[in-house]
Chains A and B, each alone.
Chain A
Amino acid sequence: MEDVVLLLKKQGWDVTEVLCIGAEAVVCKVDFLGKDAVLKFRIPKSYRIEHIDAMIRRKRTQTEALILKRVKEAGIKAPCVLYLDLQRCMIIMEYIHGLLLKEVLNKDLADWEKIARMLGRYVAFMHENDIVHGDLTTSNIFYSDGDLIFFDFGLGDFTNDIEDKAVDLELLYRVFLSSHTKICKDFMNTFLESYKLHCSQAEEIIARFRRIRLMGRYFAKRYIGKNSN
């Protein structure tokens, strides 16, 4: 993975800090035209054939950049795209100063109710605009100046599918269950209350969210008919 950073430097990028090395991409802090910026580079994967690799990386880079633009139009704060290189599957975006929501909730619970309402409203805005985040965790949201800023739409998509939207809620719920256990129930209730107010399909989406964990194989509960065991 160090090779990737070396490669970026060779390409002329002024990498000042490696922020995150994920399974899919490397995220670095760079100096871009004299300002701090974030570079996200989707790494080519030698294990899959060139055709599939290029298709996936390009499509996801393009979708992510487009989502970053669209969510801002929907009134949601997100890093601004400064530069897009589809050939190399690279996005340069605004560097955000703020604390991760995860850190905020772990340190001080004073604001949780306000945050839950705000989060409900923003996620509803996304879904109203047929955008799903795809990886809605408290590690992918900044809390800054009393507002939420969303990032890492790497698994996001444009979709009006109820199920895709329900997956966002399910993922968020799982994160609270495992990482913010103490406030999970109250937070989710407040979050959903606010989400309902701002999302027209909320009822359907929430109903699907309650069933979504049963989607894998061999869930006995999923079968409503007589269980023949």
Chain B
Amino acid sequence: MSGKTLILGIESTAHTFGVAIIDEDFTVLADERSTLDVPLGSGIHPQKAAEHHAQNACRLIISALNKANISPDKLAGIAYSAGPGLGPALRVGATAARALSILFKKPIYAVHHAIGHIELAIKFTNSIDPLVVLVSGGHTAITAFSDGKWRIYGETLDITLGNLIDQFARELGLPFPGGPHVELLARKSQNYILLPYTVKGNNVMYSGLLTYAINLASKYKLEDLCYSLQETAFSMLVEAVERALVQLDKREIVLTGGVASNSRLQEMLRQMAEIHGAKVLVSPKRYNPDNGVQIAIVGLYLHEHNLSVPVEKAIVKQRWRLDEVDIPWRM
């Protein structure tokens, strides 16, 4: 592996601290992760997440270097997730990245977390010019590349699909993350309960649906509610995706982010895409949750375009839209 460009990526936007090392051919040499334990009935507490990250950062960085079997001076650069996300959690990753950068005199790259999800999914599905559907705890966005940026053609105007499912699960006593539990329960039902369906223009809104569904908790069986929640929330999203697909005339849809692992959502998108002669490519399951690889991949692109930031400017941005980020590597 001597001579190859190696990038180390650090992810810490939410409950996962991830450290990955990739080479210039996108081979994953190390992918270390640790995730905060979230107690039943609770969510991601930002301060607890930061404590977890601080306790695990050094261990995971050393472990990643050992797995990749390289010494830090062989790295070409350090990439970190600069946002958007939870401030306290983000700052741990940024601090670790700055320390490595100063200690080993390596350039540092500030990566937008969502761009990481998008670029990883495209790379690992070998997609060309797709419509990307990013569904996670932080994002619910329909996006396509155009004129230097990832443009948004539909998004949530309040909470994300991940928020919706996690909060619903929490209120109904299911463990975090709620997605897999809600999906399994939903499979046991075919009994649809009418829930509010809110599509505005090409955007979706989930907060009313969440409140409404929680308020029905004592009146219906849990599996019926899970089924109805999924069917309603996914139908809303897929409708917006369909409009964007027709408008932009794309041939491929790439599905990524934590909720991408939901097989009902995948099925719905596939059935929709088939009508329009498009293909659905799902990001590999292992990389749907947050990870360091997605940060390292964008770090590699930034490295190739000499877009490092001075270490004193390597800070975090809790609020940072993905359609603000310049994407020179796709120009």
In whole angstroms, how far apart are the Cα atoms of A190 and B200 in the complex? 27
CB neighbours (8 Å) of A49 from chain B are 192, 231, 235
CB neighbours (8 Å) of B267 from chain A are 47
Q: Is the CB of B319 within 8 A of A218?
A: yes
Q: A52-B231, A220-B319 are in contact. Are A228 and B201 (CB under 8 A)?
A: no
Interface size for chain A: under 10, 10 to 19, 20 to 34, or 35 or more residues?
20 to 34
Instruction: Please provide the chain B residues from 19 to 64 with a CB less than 8 Å away from any CB of chain A in the complex.
Output: none
Q: Is the CB of A167 within 8 A of B200?
A: yes
B90–chain A nearest beta-carbon distance, Å? 10
In whole angstroms, how far apart are the Cα atoms of A8 and B234 in the complex? 29
Q: A48-B238, A217-B321 are in contact. Are A229 and B201 (CB under 8 A)?
A: no
B299 within 8 Å of A (CB atoms): no
CB neighbours (8 Å) of B139 from chain A are 217
B202–chain A nearest beta-carbon distance, Å? 9
A11–chain B nearest beta-carbon distance, Å? 20
B223 within 8 Å of A (CB atoms): no
Q: Is the CB of A223 within 8 A of B319?
A: yes
Tell me what chain A mostly uses at the interface: helix, strand, loop, or mixed. loop
Cβ 8 A contact of A52, one of B235, B245, B246, B275:
B235
Q: Is the CB of B317 within 8 A of A220?
A: yes
**Residue on B with the closest CB to A163?**
B200
In whole angstroms, how far apart are the Cα atoms of A217 and B322 in the complex? 10
CB neighbours (8 Å) of B235 from chain A are 47-49, 52, 56
In whole angstroms, how far apart are the Cα atoms of A78 and B321 in the complex? 39
Q: Is the CB of B201 within 8 A of A47?
A: no
Q: Is the CB of B201 within 8 A of A51?
A: no
CB neighbours (8 Å) of A23 from chain B are 239, 242-243, 245-247
Q: How many B residues, CB 8 Å from partner?
A: 41
In whole angstroms, how far apart are the Cα atoms of A164 and B2 in the complex? 59
Q: A47-B238, A47-B272 are in contact. Are A229 and B157 (CB under 8 A)?
A: no
B277–chain A nearest beta-carbon distance, Å? 9
B271 within 8 Å of A (CB atoms): yes
Contact with A along B288-331 (1 / 0, CB 8 A): 00000000000000000000000000011111111000000000
Q: Is the CB of A218 within 8 A of B232?
A: no
B148–chain A nearest beta-carbon distance, Å? 15
B87 within 8 Å of A (CB atoms): yes
Q: A216-B157, A218-B321 are in contact. Are A45 and B272 (CB under 8 A)?
A: yes
B107 within 8 Å of A (CB atoms): no
Q: Is the CB of B317 within 8 A of A229?
A: yes
Show 16 A/B contacts (Cβ-Cβ < 8 Å), sorted by A. Answer: A23-B242, A23-B246, A45-B239, A48-B234, A48-B268, A49-B231, A52-B231, A56-B239, A217-B139, A217-B156, A218-B83, A219-B319, A220-B319, A223-B319, A227-B319, A229-B319
Q: A47-B267, A52-B197 are in contact. List 16 more A-B contacts (CB 8 A).
A: A23-B242, A48-B238, A49-B192, A52-B231, A55-B194, A56-B235, A134-B201, A167-B201, A171-B201, A217-B155, A218-B319, A219-B319, A219-B321, A220-B319, A228-B87, A229-B316
Q: List the 7 closest A-B pairs by CB distance, nearest first.
A: A47-B271, A23-B246, A220-B319, A48-B235, A23-B243, A47-B272, A218-B84
